[in-house]
Structure 1
Amino acid sequence: MESRPLATQPHQRPPSKEEKTRSIWGDTFYHLFKNKLALVGAIILTFFILLAIFAPLLTSYTIDKTNPSIRLMPPSSEHWMGTDDLGRDVFTRVAHGARISLLIGLFSISGALVIGTTLGLVAGFYGRWVDMLISRIFDIMLAFPSILLAIAIVAILGPSLQNAMLAIAIINVPIFGRIVRSKVISLRAEEFVLAAKAQGMKNGRIMFHHILPNSLAPIIVQATLGFGIAIIEAAALGFLGMGASPPTPEWGRMLADSRGYIQNAYWTVLFPGLSIMLVVLGFNMLGDGLRDALDPKMKDQG
């Protein structure tokens, strides 16, 4: 009989000496910043974060000071982004609006992450009727279009920035919950979990000290992408008059107030809309880079 050649394994690049000495998170950041698109996203977000932090120092105008004599002035050396229909400086309002939009994303996604992760851990770890109950709640929430559910929540609670953040947090809970639940189900039969149970470790400690740390990768990616989604949802609620109230310079509200001047004063719509687009783009690019950096298969191809 003729001898057949042994099946060869797919070629994998052996790790270098430098890669062996890096920690897991150090290796993740190394691959993240090798990704040019992720780097561009990080630069965009850094710009808007610095703009939000130093907004009071970058302009001498206030967000609510009106001056009808200079209403709808085009961009100039005095007003970099022009003025709106009430004579307010658009750059000042965009810069301070960055604070509001980023804070909306931070608080909304943080709340959704904490609640969704906890429910996902409980559902995936205990299974049976607990899993069925929590999963059906997630299914019911996901059956509604997210923005319509957010509108319904704000309509019940009353239009305000705080209620808008609460609504955005609630509609994002099932997204985190389902991601964590599926990860926990794949991990609960692993040897390190069975060993912890055999040692008599309590379920809470197993979930939060053993399973959760091994589930962080998809949570981090979803949280990064969720920031951009939360900012869009907040802008949509603001545009509909269900978010921040005047004179708060929230980007979606600015678009709503300026939509009647889009033909003869384009700058009043352009700069808030461009800010929303760039921030969401930055979070999406960074999230895609994190997903690739946390995926071992993508690292092997690098």
Structure 2
Amino acid sequence: MTTTAHLPAPRSVWLRGRLPRPGVVLSAVFLLVAAVAAVAPGLIADQDPLAVGADPGFLPPFASTAHLLGTDHAGRDVFSRLVHGTAPSLVMGLGATGIALVGGAVLGLLAGLGSRATETVVMRVLDIVLAIPELLLALIVIALLGTGTEHALLAVGVATIPYYARMVRAQTHVVRRSGYVEAATGLGIHRAAVIWRHVLPNAIKPVLVLATIGVGTAIAVGASLGFLGLGAQPPAPEWGSMLAAGVQYISIDWMLVAIPGVTITLTVLSVTVLGRDLRRRAEGKAAG
């Protein structure tokens, strides 16, 4: 009697578990292009994003070889402004997430390793902050600090600290009871060294994977602040401020709203897809 218990898995199933999905590949390609646009925008768009061109305003996309995506109300090249606006948006996402990770790690370790009273105080404060919508909390921070790109970045980072603090605190409770931490403590290693070498790296590692998804959220919140006029100030090219400027002329040229809006959506979607794929792989699940 034949048996199939030890037959190798079909090649299609084997590949499906190891090759990235088409959506992940497309997201990676899109973010790679965005990274090039952020680091060297001149390689993609050679026009000055602030220059008021000789061509009339409100040129539609592909109407002129000099203006691939048309011009805005001031005759400025939309494609050039879109490309040069990539850097502020990506810096907003990465910088705000970095601030949130550092602040969340400090508060999470304090709650996870401190006394019961310390943990209770920290967690209750975080619960109160979490009850405030993220965008509203960012607006409160900007109201205290003032408008501008740097203040908007700090505001978004501060607004997302509680999410990472709760995750780090939960991971810290798991790591502090592990065998290697107990062994290091039993060997007489200083508590600060145990925290720095063993607790912190192992507690924050799973959070780093989840933080990739948070980058997309930070980009979206940063664009919202730019739309409200609280981020980069005109005429600086930034996706949120481009969206706000386009709304004023939506009845004349709706593409001035659609182009930055679609770009923001695709960027956030690409970051989220890659983040979820990284989380799935970190958890040992197939990508199929």
Cα distance in structure 2, aligned partners of 1:148 and 1:165: 14
Q: CA deviation at 1:93?
A: 0.5
Match of 2:23 among 11, 33, 37: 37
**Deviation string, structure 1 residues 99-129 (Cα, Å, up to 9, x no partner):** 1100111211111111111221221122412
Cα distance in structure 2, aligned partners of 1:214 and 1:33: 28
Aligned to 2:140: 152
Alignment of 1:1-302 (within 5 A): 34-67=20-53, 69-76=55-62, 77-296=65-284, 298-299=285-286
Aligned to 2:13: none
SS of 1:271 mapped into structure 2: helix
**Deviation string, structure 1 residues 141-176 (Cα, Å, up to 9, x no partner):** 101011011111111211111110010010111111
Q: Is the 8 A contact 2:126 2:162 kept in 1?
A: yes
TM-score by length of 1: 0.85
Percent of aligned positions that are identical: 37
Q: Is the 8 A contact 2:49 2:237 kept in 1?
A: yes
Amino acid corresponding to residue 25 of structure 2 in structure 1: L
Unaligned runs of 5+ in 2: 9-16
Cα distance in structure 1, aligned partners of 2:21 and 2:95: 28
Cα distance in structure 1, aligned partners of 2:67 and 2:19: 36
Q: CA deviation at 1:53?
A: 2.1
Q: CA deviation at 1:295?
A: 0.3
Q: Superposition RMSD on alpha carbons, in Å? A: 2.2
Q: Is the 8 A contact 1:74 1:83 kept in 2?
A: yes
Size of the aligned set, in residue pairs, is 273
Cα distance in structure 2, aligned partners of 1:47 and 1:60: 16
Comparing 92-101 with 221-230, greater Cα deviation is found at 221-230
**Deviation string, structure 1 residues 182-204 (Cα, Å, up to 9, x no partner):** 01112211111111111112222
Comparing 141-150 with 218-227, greater Cα deviation is found at 218-227
Aligned to 1:19: none
Amino acid corresponding to residue 207 of structure 1 in structure 2: I
SS of 1:70 mapped into structure 2: coil
Q: CA deviation at 1:35?
A: 4.2
- Rate the CA distance shift 1:35–1:67 in 2: closer, same or farther, 3 A: closer
Q: Which runs of at least 4 in structure 1 moved beyond 4 Å after TM superposition?
A: none
Unaligned runs of 5+ in 1: 1-10, 15-30
**Deviation string, structure 1 residues 19-56 (Cα, Å, up to 9, x no partner):** xxxxxxxxxxxx78634433332222112111222312
Q: CA deviation at 1:68?
A: 6.8
- Rate the CA distance shift 1:61–1:149 in 2: closer, same or farther, 3 A: same
TM-score by length of 2: 0.88
